[in-house]
Amino acid sequence: MKLDHTYILPSIFALIVHVVVAFIVMSEWQNSSQRTPPVQVKQRVEATLIDLDSFLAQQKLVDSAADKKAADKKAADKKAADKKAADKKAADKKAADKKSADKKAADKKSADKKSADKKAADKKAADKKSSDKKAADKKAADKKSADNKAADKKASDKKAADKKVADKKASDKKVSDKIAADKKSADKKAADKKSADKKAADKKAADKKAVDKKASDKKAADKKSADKKAVDKKASDKKAADKKSADKKAADKKSADKKAADKKSADKKAAQKIAEVEQALDSLLDEEEAETQALEQQATSGEAVASAVNYMKDEIIKKWTRPANSRNGMVVELVIHLVPTGEVVDVEVSYRDPSATDAFVASVENAVKRVRRFDKLSQLNSVLFETNFRRFTVRFRPEDLRL
């Protein structure tokens, strides 16, 4: 408490008034003693006469002592006030130092936490970047493999088609060679037959000439009969020759018709084979185009599935609260039952590592339940959703923990 100096002067004044009153009373008492006739007493009374100067000097000493005491008290009060102010200042400084130390510690703790969070965020970003790079590399490798496979298949199909075309050409050449050989053989046979017929006709003519000569020599007398017989025979021979010629023409026409029919059948078969080869080529091209589209569709579907999986993991990590006893290496697998809108219907634990604590497993389950709904899954087509996300298994293994 601070000393109030306004009471010092009144106190000194009161002290002086008391001293003056005491002095007056003493003086009055002394005067009254002098005015009263001395009483004779039997005993000897020793009295001391007080000198006023001495008394004043003594009173001055008393006043001086009182002033000194008041000054000492004032100095003591001032010293106490100064000590109290110094103590308060020291206490305030100590409190300020403590507050500064606490603020510094809090700032350091905040800076450490901010640094740790930044480090964790940087690690997470690096992990995500590495994961994205790996996914991109895998996608590029898969695309390259698919392209190589498609190119190999295309080359193989082209080779097979070229072989089929070559085989068809060889078959067509074989057929045309056979037709040419058959025609050559037929022409040779016709020429041989014509030559044989000519030889037979020449022989027959020679025989007839010999017979006619013999008949002319032998039956010169019966020339008329012989001539008649010769005419009849000539008519008969002509008739036979005409019949033979007609038969030959019919046989030649039949052979030509058969050859034309055979050629037409061969041409039809060749055209049918060409149509079959063209149809096979068209079918191969259609199959190749369908496979290419299927591969492109599969690649697109793979990208959509990978993007959806990363999105679900990120959403779970955002909602996950790390338990105090969680450590690196803990693994838990959850089976999440979903509906096409992305809403979580049920969550069950399918596997947990022996090191995974109950608190860790429960924290991951609670994170999925807090997500409640994965909105972006509603954008997937029904086939992708039914194939990959109706019953989805997620493996949770945090790698950014400090312990």
pLDDT 10s digits, 53-104: 666 777 778 777 778 887 788 888 888 878 888 888 888 888 778 887 788 8
Residue 292's pLDDT is what?
A: 46
| Residue 402, pLDDT score | 44
Which of 31-40, 230-239, 274-283, 327-336: highest mean pLDDT? 327-336
Check residue 21 and give its pLDDT.
Answer: 92
For residue 74, the model assigns a pLDDT of 83
125-149 confidence digits (pLDDT tens): 777 887 778 877 777 677 776 677 7
Confidence band of 403 (pLDDT split at 50, 70, 90): very low
Mean pLDDT of 356-380: 93
pLDDT tens figures, 277-304 = 677 666 665 665 555 455 445 545 788 8
pTM beyond 0.75, yes or no:
no
Q: Is the pLDDT of residue 371 over 90?
A: yes
Q: Is the pLDDT of residue 180 over 70?
A: no
Q: What is the mean pLDDT of the chain?
A: 78
pLDDT at position 212 over 80 = no
pLDDT for the residue numbered 71: 79
pLDDT tens per residue, range 187-210: 777 667 777 777 766 777 667 776
Least confident of 205-209, 270-274, 316-320: 205-209
Give me the residue label for tokens 């299927």: 294
67-76, 87-96, 163-172, 254-263: which has the minimum mean pLDDT? 163-172
